[in-house]
Amino acid sequence: MRGGKDGLYEDIKRKILTMELEPDQDLDEGSIGDGYGLSRTPVREIFRRLEGEGYIEIRANRGARVSPMTHQSLRQFFLVAPMVYAAIGRLAVQNFKKSQLVDLSDTQERFRRASITGDPDSMVLENNRFHEIIGEMSGNVFLKPSLDRLLIDHARIGHTVFRPRNDDMRRRLQLSVEHHDGFIAAIAAHDEDAVVDLVFEHWELSRSNMEMFVAPTGMKADALVEGPANEMEKQS
């Protein structure tokens, strides 16, 4: 953990994206400031910056909390995300700089290594950074803030894919890695249509992964299976 304002800013972002700080969790500025050697004034400055970026909410007379994920916000996310991602993809092809493509490739290699070693937090952060860079490539001051806000919830909702528990989830993770390679190749080739096609393929993969988080598989109701009624059926 780094001290100071920069350390506090980066650590809170990281903890929110990796769900170490959960949605709706209260943030106590006093105890947080003590941990970073900061008074309340710089902590409040960082909180306001994070609020502007969509990571936290500051409530009058109630303090700060991690941005919640409500039914309404999830619905808006699923409605808007593919449209924003597609528009960002087109603009990225039109406006990217070579240095950004290098950054994208470097980030992808870190993401690939994390997927091999099974480091879920690194996968979350590198995946988030990968899509942030594509947003930077777009060069659009109107769409970029919308993308950044979407990526916060995308990381939080979709974090389960980076903790694969079975072969199907591991296959999905490998497909995500391959999609990233495809984005890099298509952007480098200035192939706008290929990027948009990949956006929707990647979105469908992400959407199904996120559904696992929103609606997990139910637990077996053992109490009902072995309840009194079933015992009577066995005896009859």
86 and 177 fall within a common domain: yes
Element holding 205 (H helix, E strand): helix 192-214
User: Could you tell me if residue 199 is inside a domain?
Assistant: yes
193 and 85 fall within a common domain: yes
Residues 6+ away with beta carbon under 8 Å from 200: 82, 86
Q: Is the pTM of this model over 0.75?
A: yes
**Residue-range definition of the domain harbouring residue 36:** 4-66
User: Could you tell me if residue 48 is inside a domain?
Assistant: yes
Last residue in a domain, options 66, 90, 112: 66
Residue 166's CATH number: 1.20.120.530
60 and 82 fall within a common domain: no
146 and 196 fall within a common domain: yes
**Alpha carbons 118 and 5: distance in angstroms, whole number:** 31
Q: What is the mean pLDDT of each run of 10 residues along the chain (236 residues)?
A: 82 96 95 93 96 95 93 90 97 98 98 95 96 98 96 88 84 95 98 97 85 62 52 50
Residue 49's CATH number: 1.10.10.10
Residues 6+ away with beta carbon under 8 Å from 129: 107
17 and 121 fall within a common domain: no
**Number of independent structural domains in the chain:** 2
Q: Look at residue 219 in the predicted model and tell me its pLDDT.
A: 56
Neighbours of 132 (CB within 10 A): 17
- Helix residue ranges, H only, 215-236: 222-225, 228-235
